[in-house]
């Protein structure tokens, strides 16, 4: 299950949307690092490490106008409000 996210982004390499900050469950987080990118013509994915040291994979559609979180990995319990995202633990 994906969770819609409010993402502030900039143009990254080759014009691919690159998240700078994102908001979920009313909490804004900064992107500490972009770890990987899977660009596509209409849908693409970006793997990031948040400032909270958690891993996220964000999906974007329509050239970055619509974002969702499709993967979340953390050593901590899911933050309240994002229970719809199934954690993938290592």
pLDDT digits (tens, 9 = 90+) for 49-82: 999 999 999 999 977 789 999 988 888 766 665 5
pLDDT higher at 18 or 89: 18
Q: By percentage, how much of the chain surpasses pLDDT 70?
A: 83
| Alpha-carbon dihedral 81, 9, 21, 52, rounded to 10 degrees | 90
Provide mean pLDDT across the span 26-49. 92
pTM of the model: 0.81
**Would you state the structure tokens that stand for residue 61, as one six-digit string?**
């559609």
Distance of CA 38 to the CA centre of its chain: 13
């Amino acid at each position: 299950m994906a969770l819609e996210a409010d993402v502030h982004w900039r143009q990254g390499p080759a014009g691919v949307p690159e998240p700078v900050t994102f908001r979920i469950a009313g909490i804004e987080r900064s992107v500490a690092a972009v770890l990987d990118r899977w660009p596509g013509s209409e849908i693409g994915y970006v793997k990031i490490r948040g400032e909270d040291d958690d891993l996220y994979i964000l999906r974007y559609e329509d050239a970055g106008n619509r974002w969702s979180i499709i993967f979340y990995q953390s050593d901590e319990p899911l933050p309240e409000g994002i229970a719809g995202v199934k954690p993938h633990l290592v």
